[in-house]
Amino acid sequence: MFASGAVTVSGSMTVKLACRGLSAYFGQLRALHDINLDIATNSVTAVIGPSGCGKSTLVRCFNRMHEVVGGARVEGQVLLDGEDVYGPGVDAPAVRRRIGMVFQRPTPFPTMTIEENVVAGLSLDGNRLSRTAKERVVERGLRQAALWDEVKDQLGKPGTSLSGGQQQRLCIARALAVEPEVLLLDEPCSQLDPISTARIEELLSELAADYTIVLVTHNMQQAARASNFTAFLLGGKLVEFGETNQIFTNPACRETEDYVTGRFG
Amino acid sequence: MAGWLFFLAMDLACGLFLLVVGGIFLELLAGSWPSIRAFGLSFLWTSAWDPVAGKFGALPFIYGTLVSSLVAIALAAGVGLLAAIYLAEFAPGWLGAPLGLLIELLAAVPSVVYGLWGLFVLSPIVRSQIGPFLQATLGFLPLFSGPIYGVGMLTAILILVLMIVPTVVAVSRDVLLAVPDIQRESMLALGATRWEVTRRVVLPAARGGIFGACVLALGRAVGETIATTMVIGNRPVISASLFAPGYTLASVIANEFTEATTTVYLGALTELGLLLFVLSLIVNGLARVLLRALSGGLRQA
């Protein structure tokens, strides 16, 4: 069993993000139990498991979004390039700039235009962007999110005027505009149709060239299609972690096999 | 089945309101007819108010109502919004809930109590502390010149602020809380601080509702009668100084209705009522138009 020991990614890949003895709580309720996990640079790591297994909680611990909820707390370490994001003196907003996040439902800011949405995270800190710098960021972000061609003529329209799939890509563009190193996606396709889903999966493999991606999904086919590594969570514990191919074809644990073959969950 | 009956009932219910509003308007118009016939439109910009000589002009009352309620809403909006932001976004749960309740309780205090407090507590403070302080620091402005009586425009404004702040706070706080948490989280996840989340996401989303809260409060200030009457000084003069006494539409009606012996006098008071009615309609209508212009183009989700 891999559950309690440190799990390392194979071969020569460098570790971007790692957790050591990570536990998360909501008040008295323990949602994650002693998770140890390494996430490789420039890869897509999928986190799978049945509803309520702690997938979302796990990634929300990575960028310190877990603590935003009242009564929530974290034990253990999350190491970004070897440094604990929960270490003393580490500023949560600074961590979130390095570890971006896309949520389950598309969440464009309703009072902002498409363009304003893309730069929403950028014009913080009071550093005002010049018009040309802003245009450059908007175009780069939207191109990276494969949305540019669809919206380039309507940048001044509200972000909420787009379709669901477009809105989700707008949110990806918004997250990328901050130039994070890691991108967390929490079931980004669960509200989208198959065509939009396919576009986003395609996008993820492209983005993996420049970013380290963690994809939470309840869709096993998606994990199999779109990821290099897969972590299987059950009841707040990490059951198995390995290369996606191995997890789906030759899992080491009985629970993993039952889950990926659809016998439960 | 009996759907038509339901629709008929709904139509009747709505019609009833139309009828009431229309009825009030017509009744006021009929009641003020003697005054309208005697003074015409000049009633609106005449300052004389001399029941003995039979001269009536509404300007000091319109002025008093507008100045007291507009200055009050300007102050109340600032203070109230800050309090609402604190309660909705920053206060810890154990503090926010009781504090919010306390502020809402302020709205339940009868206005005559505010009036008494204003007369016996606030106005001496205005005369001995607040007034001299303003005069010493900002005395070069005509707003803070002249003798300080205690009762007067400033005291009325302060009492009104106290009375309408709870409305601004309670409604604004609810509007802020109605902004979905996922919007806050989305901004936090971009590396924003809580203040940046408030300023860039929550406040823009709640802008319309906050504006609505202020309009609601302004409506209350415009129509407030008893508390204002007790502290404003009740003199039909237009003075640049906030220390000077003033008079409002609502106050003069309440004060003089029982003494109105002549038809023209009664007509003039009724016409003041008509003006108050129309003023409230204009304030509300204007607010709605402004609101639509403010949130224009960004609401077609």
Interface pTM, i.e. ipTM: 0.89
d(CA A189, CA A204): 12
Give the tens place of pLDDT for each residue, B184-202.
999 999 999 999 999 999 9
Q: How far apart are CA B164 and CA B75, in angstroms?
A: 10
- Measured CA to CA, the distance from residue B245 to residue B236 in angstroms comes to 8
Which positions 41-80 of B are in contact with A (Cβ < 8 Å)? none
**Residue B298 confidence (pLDDT):** 44
Q: How confident is the prediction for chain B on average, in pLDDT?
A: 90
Residues B190, A120: C-beta atoms closer than 8 Å = yes
The pLDDT, as a whole number, for residue A7 is: 45
Q: What contacts A216, CB < 8 A, 6 or more positions away?
A: A46, A47, A55, A56, A58, A59, A184, A185, A186, A187
B181 to chain A nearest CA, in Å? 10
Q: B87 vs chain A: nearest CA distance in angstroms?
A: 15
CA distance A256 to chain B (A): 31
Asked if B297 is an interface residue toward chain A (Cβ–Cβ < 8 A), one would say: yes
Q: Give the integer Cα–Cα distance in Å for A85 and A63.
A: 8
Which residues on adjacent β-strands are paired with residue A212? A182
Chain B environment of A178 (Cβ under 8 Å): 190-191
Q: Which of A68, A105, A174 sits opposite B190 (nearest CB)?
A: A174
Residue A66 DSSP label: G
> Between residues 235 and 294 of chain B, which touch chain A (CB distance below 8 Å)?
none
pLDDT given for residue A126 in this prediction? 57
Which residue in B298, B299, B300 has the most chain A C-beta atoms within 10 A of its own C-beta, making it the best mutation to test that interface? B298
Closest by CA position to B63, among listed B167, B156, B159: B156
Pick from B182, B187, B200: which is nearest to A105 by CB?
A: B182
Which regions of chain B are under pLDDT 70? 1, 294-301
Among the listed residues A241, A237, A265, A233, the one whose alpha carbon sits nearest the alpha carbon of residue A30: A237
Q: Name which of B261, B233, B266 is nearest B247 in CA terms.
A: B233
Residue A193: burial class (beta carbons within 10 Å; 0-12, 13-18, 19+): exposed
Question: If you average pLDDT over every residue of chain A, what do you get?
Answer: 89
Please tell me which of the candidates B182, B196, B301 has its beta carbon nearest to residue A124. Answer: B196
A258 CA to chain B: closest CA distance, Å?
34
> Could you tell me which residues come within 8 angstroms of residue B188 by beta carbon, excluding any fewer than 6 positions away?
A65, A68, A93, A96, B194, B197
Helix (H) or strand (E) segment spanning residue A77: strand A72-80
- What pLDDT is attached to residue A124? 67
From the list A110, A112, A124, the residue facing B192 with the nearest CB is: A124
In terms of DSSP bridges, do strands A212-216 and A182-186 run parallel, antiparallel, or are they unpaired? parallel
Q: Using the CB atoms, write b or e for A115-133: b if 16+ within 10 Å.
A: bbbbbbbbbbeeeeeeeee
- Chain B 143-202, CB below 8 Å of chain A: which residues? 182-183, 185-193, 196, 200-201
Check B189 against A160: CB less than 8 A apart. Answer: no
CB spacing of A65 vs B185 below 8 angstroms: yes
- Contact between A121 and B298 using a beta-carbon 8 Å cutoff: no
pTM, to two decimals: 0.85
| Stretches in chain A below the pLDDT threshold 70 | 1-12, 124-127, 265
Please list every residue in chain A whose beta carbon sits closer than 8 Å to the beta carbon of residue B190: 96-97, 100, 120-121, 124, 174-175, 178
Residue with tokens 């997890």: A247
